Structure 1
Amino acid sequence: MNVHVKSGMTVLACAAALACGHALAGEAEAKKWIDNEFQPSSLSKDKQQAEMKWFIDAAAKLKAKGVTQISVVSETITTHEYESKTLAKAFEEITGIKVNHDIIQEGDVVEKLQTSMQSGKSIYDGWISDSDLIGTHYRYGAILPLSDYMAGAGKEWTNPGLDVKDFIGTKFTTAPDGKLYQLPDQQFANLYWFRADWFARKDLQDKFKAKYGYDLGVPTNWSAYEDIANFFTNDVKEIDGKKVYGHMDYGKKDPSLGWRFTDAWLSMAGTADKGLPNGIPIDEWGIRVAEDKCTPVGASVSRGGATNSPAAVYALTKYIDWMKKFAPSQAMGMTFSEAGPVPA
């Protein structure tokens, strides 16, 4: 059985039917985890304990059936490392069900998933992967939709306290057939990181307004972002004896650069049509999809897409210009995982 999920906790809630464990599991172990790890919580400790009791009882029925363990895979990001190292351990200690949660590179997850779908054989019970694959899952018919599983064969093993409506982003994990294939686990958002303490300095505010004629603040358009980037890089130059920059990005040839550009730069430049999910019929990657089948039709303007549209050209031009003018020189040689800690 291949239960495709988006969350380590979803694996535990919806795919518990694939596990078993050791004799020490029980309510005492649950209380330890509730007190020491699962805080703060939207639930009271009594309600948390009651929920853990459901997991313990469900696991006991599974172990009586002789089910052995569950295997899950996800890409290497901090969210999933926590699931693999901490949540999997908690689940095993509370339920006696062993969870093997492998952490591998994103490209390897996609490759293994593709191989699994083509061969019809899976080495994993749960896959934690990008919801970008929703169209593939829908068309291939090789993935068991979670909504079908939770209402059918998996109903007995689905946490009755699971509130699907409480998840952010289920529109992106629901296929055109109306079925939920994944539950959102973590999400990437387009955002600005900025030093609020720098922006709040009176001397910098006065200097910025004298030059540009408006108040220094969080930019709401491209030209304001460029003004601020230029100001800190070329006018301020140093703060507290350290060289400062007004912009940060990354440019090393790497898979992460591809989705950095499509997910962030193209969408911010306006390649996508308005609408959810992802803009229909043009998504944030500039790809046109057939609305009835969620099938990619074309990316170029000649095929109805937007990847070489004026918005895309503008985005690429600004990406290169700002990197050269306002970012640290080493940023051009960095990947996603290397660049993130710099503004952090």
Structure 2
Amino acid sequence: MATAEKWVDQEFQPSTLSKEEQMKEMEWFIKAAEPFRGMEINVVSETITTHAYESETLAKAFTEITGITINHDLIQEGDVIEKLQTQMQSGRNVYDAYVNDSDLIGTHFRYGQVVPLSDWMTGAGKDVTLPTLDVDDFMGKSFTTAPDGKLYQLPDQQFANLYWFRYDWFQREDLQNQFKEIYGYDLGVPVNWSAYQDIAEFFSEHVKEIDGQRVYGHMDYGKKDPSLGWRFTDAWLSMAGAGDKGIPNGLPVDEWGIRVNDCHPVGSNVTRGGATNGPAAVYALSKYIDWLDKYAPPEASGMTFSEAGPVPAQGNIAQQIFWYTAFTADMAKEGTPVVDEDGNPKWRMAPSPHGPYWEEGMKLGYQDAGSWTLLKSTPEERRKAAWLYAQFTVAKTVSLKKTHVGLTPIRDSDIRHESFTERAPKLGGLVEFYRSPARVQWTPTGTNVPDYPKLAQLWWQNVAEAVTGEKTPQEAMDGLAEQQDRVLMRLERAGVQPTCGPKLNEEMSREHWLNQPGAPKPKLDNEKPQGMTVKYDDLIASWEEGQE
């Protein structure tokens, strides 16, 4: 208890708990860990700031407090999935627990190799489940709940894909007047893709220079690389409006264009009732290529995700439609061109604009939720010890401090804490977004995707062919839809997913499906309606009043 008190006093502040409540949690961990003292447990996660804090600080704290030695490995996201697949296919215990994106929820509940946490916490793992875990406090619990109503993963960190823009430039009266003169409406946060395109054109082709520096109205990346896949699987089609209504994911057609009947995937191709190669998806890909070519810096098309990420902080980008809040800490560093002399950001983040196929009630973008995942192939004693550490990293004693370090909030109570009210002005809208009712419209890949590792790799290869001009956007999306359906067909024939496995629809004409209600949606006569913007300060005020 003396060791725990030292950590609580020196490291785990602030907290939403009183010190007395923190010490009660620590006492519970010490007692629950007694049967496992002396064990050495191995867990793994991808390399981001939040997980570095866990690996370097929380693992050490847990080891000292409980006597269970934790080795928390940090590796690339693709390698995490590879290790997970190896364990699932071989049954050999590679790691005792994984922080694995909730994008794999559809994979996990279908293959039956992941421990459903709802059953675990009330059954075999009851004696090692923290009484004050408070699952309802986790903002991302709907992302990790399967169609059977069970929780399969526990969120550990999450970040959204939002719109980023130079608030200081948008506030300039000369630029506001020039924009209104050219486009006939106010320069502001774009509500739709038409306005985003107008603003991109405005800065790239009309403004061109600010303070002697060449500026661009858009930033993106386009290199043929696996990270190009994330650019699309992370809900680009849903932002255009390709799927159906439904939160957290469209039903029956989701943001990848996969249709389900009950819980069974029945196809991606429009000919099977999917929307992966429908008009809205082709529009989405076309706009991505068009904007990259016309409005982004020339070098952007040869960049990967990690190379493009730091570019807006260099100070010559006006806006970015596809920007992860995981970059917040880097964008808020004092001394960079996008932070003023008082340490306040010159930029803000806001909701992503939507394409012309989007309708009210649809998801509006992507949210990553790295989540603790337990496999049945891990021996029960090791699983229990690993579950203790997993809960320690998200317990209320430590979660608020962890959120301040990594800026990837998981608990509603943490983001509403007064310490974040104080810090909010330095974070460019992150706090306001996560406190707003709008946050529910940003969600990870949903349960329609039956095998995320197999299907996700198809995206970057097909999209790249359209980026290079080898194929038209329609041809590229046709290829993707056909390849996805072939994977679904193989899964169906192999019968490896006894629960909610694929059952492909017979093919019918495109016209048949495009004439049905919902997705896939027929091509619009006008894919560039009137641009619409909103003042950022009015948007924040509406959130504070509880409006979406």
TM-score, scaled to structure 1: 0.86
Shift of 1:108: 1.8
Equivalents in 2 of 1:128, 1:272: separation in Å?
A: 28
The residue that corresponds to 1:301 in the other structure is 270
1:146 to 117, 120, 125: 117
Answer whether contact 2:221 2:303 (CA < 8 A) is retained.
yes
Equivalents in 1 of 2:5, 2:223: separation in Å?
A: 47
Structure 1 vs Structure 2 CA RMSD: 1.7
* Residue identity in the other structure for 1:297: V
Structure 1, residues 277-326: CA drift from partner, whole Å, max 9, x if none? 3211111111123333xx43321211221111111111111100100111
Shift of 1:337: 2.0
Shift of 1:49: 2.1
The residue that corresponds to 1:199 in the other structure is 170
Answer whether contact 1:171 1:276 (CA < 8 A) is retained.
no
Structure 1, residues 263-286: CA drift from partner, whole Å, max 9, x if none? 232110111211133211111111
Structure 1, residues 244-276: CA drift from partner, whole Å, max 9, x if none? 211111111222211211323211011121113
Q: Trace 1:127-142 onto structure 2 (pairs within 5 A).
A: 127-142=98-113
The residue that corresponds to 1:116 in the other structure is 87
The residue that corresponds to 1:186 in the other structure is 157
Q: Stretches of 4+ moved more than 3 A in 1? A: none
Equivalents in 2 of 1:197, 1:45: separation in Å?
A: 41
Equivalents in 1 of 2:14, 2:71: separation in Å?
A: 26
Shift of 1:81: 2.2
- The answer on 1:31 being equivalent to 2:2 is no
* Residue identity in the other structure for 2:14: P
Residues 231 and 98 (structure 1 numbering): CA distance in 2 closer, same or farther, change over 3 Å?
Answer: same
* Residue identity in the other structure for 1:50: K
Answer whether contact 2:204 2:215 (CA < 8 A) is retained.
yes
Tell me the SS of whatever aligns to 2:154.
Answer: coil
Answer whether contact 1:173 1:183 (CA < 8 A) is retained.
yes
Equivalents in 2 of 1:112, 1:296: separation in Å?
A: 26
Residues 93 and 237 (structure 1 numbering): CA distance in 2 closer, same or farther, change over 3 Å?
Answer: farther
- The answer on 1:337 being equivalent to 2:288 is no
The residue that corresponds to 1:9 in the other structure is none
Which stretches in structure 1 are left out of the alignment for 5+ residues? 1-26
Structure 1, residues 16-71: CA drift from partner, whole Å, max 9, x if none? xxxxxxxxxxx3332333233322221122222221221122223432xxx51221
- The answer on 1:275 being equivalent to 2:246 is yes
Equivalents in 2 of 1:36, 1:248: separation in Å?
A: 41
The residue that corresponds to 1:18 in the other structure is none
2:195 to 203, 224, 246: 224
Answer whether contact 2:251 2:260 (CA < 8 A) is retained.
yes
Equivalents in 1 of 2:150, 2:168: separation in Å?
A: 46
Tell me the SS of whatever aligns to 1:192.
Answer: strand
Shift of 1:129: 0.9
- The answer on 1:56 being equivalent to 2:30 is yes
2:262 to 282, 291, 301: 291
Shift of 1:114: 1.6
The residue that corresponds to 1:326 in the other structure is 295
1:81 to 22, 29, 52: 52
Answer whether contact 1:237 1:243 (CA < 8 A) is retained.
yes
The residue that corresponds to 1:5 in the other structure is none
Shift of 1:86: 2.2
1:100 to 58, 63, 71: 71
* Residue identity in the other structure for 1:36: Q
Answer whether contact 2:36 2:68 (CA < 8 A) is retained.
no
Equivalents in 1 of 2:42, 2:172: separation in Å?
A: 52
Q: Trace 1:229-248 onto structure 2 (pairs within 5 A).
A: 229-248=200-219
Tell me the SS of whatever aligns to 2:94.
Answer: coil
Answer whether contact 1:120 1:142 (CA < 8 A) is retained.
no
Tell me the SS of whatever aligns to 1:251.
Answer: coil
Equivalents in 1 of 2:61, 2:299: separation in Å?
A: 41
Equivalents in 2 of 1:243, 1:145: separation in Å?
A: 53
Equivalents in 2 of 1:38, 1:70: separation in Å?
A: 23
Tell me the SS of whatever aligns to 2:22.
Answer: helix
Tell me the SS of whatever aligns to 2:71.
Answer: strand
Equivalents in 1 of 2:250, 2:104: separation in Å?
A: 16
Residues 334 and 79 (structure 1 numbering): CA distance in 2 closer, same or farther, change over 3 Å?
Answer: farther
Tell me the SS of whatever aligns to 2:235.
Answer: helix
Shift of 1:145: 1.1
Equivalents in 1 of 2:261, 2:172: separation in Å?
A: 51
Tell me the SS of whatever aligns to 1:186.
Answer: strand
Answer whether contact 1:280 1:291 (CA < 8 A) is retained.
no
* Residue identity in the other structure for 1:288: R
Shift of 1:188: 4.0
Shift of 1:334: 1.7
2:234 to 251, 255, 263: 263
1:310 to 260, 264, 279: 279
Identity across the alignment (%)? 73
Answer whether contact 1:265 1:319 (CA < 8 A) is retained.
no
Which stretches in structure 2 are left out of the alignment for 5+ residues? 313-330, 332-548
Equivalents in 2 of 1:330, 1:34: separation in Å?
A: 48
* Residue identity in the other structure for 1:160: P
Shift of 1:127: 1.3
Answer whether contact 1:209 1:216 (CA < 8 A) is retained.
yes
Shift of 1:169: 2.0
* Residue identity in the other structure for 2:204: T
* Mean Cα deviation higher: 331-340 or 213-222: 331-340
* Residue identity in the other structure for 1:70: I
- The answer on 1:166 being equivalent to 2:140 is no
Structure 1, residues 221-266: CA drift from partner, whole Å, max 9, x if none? 0110011111111222222332221111111122221121132321
TM-score, scaled to structure 2: 0.55
Equivalents in 2 of 1:28, 1:244: separation in Å?
A: 56
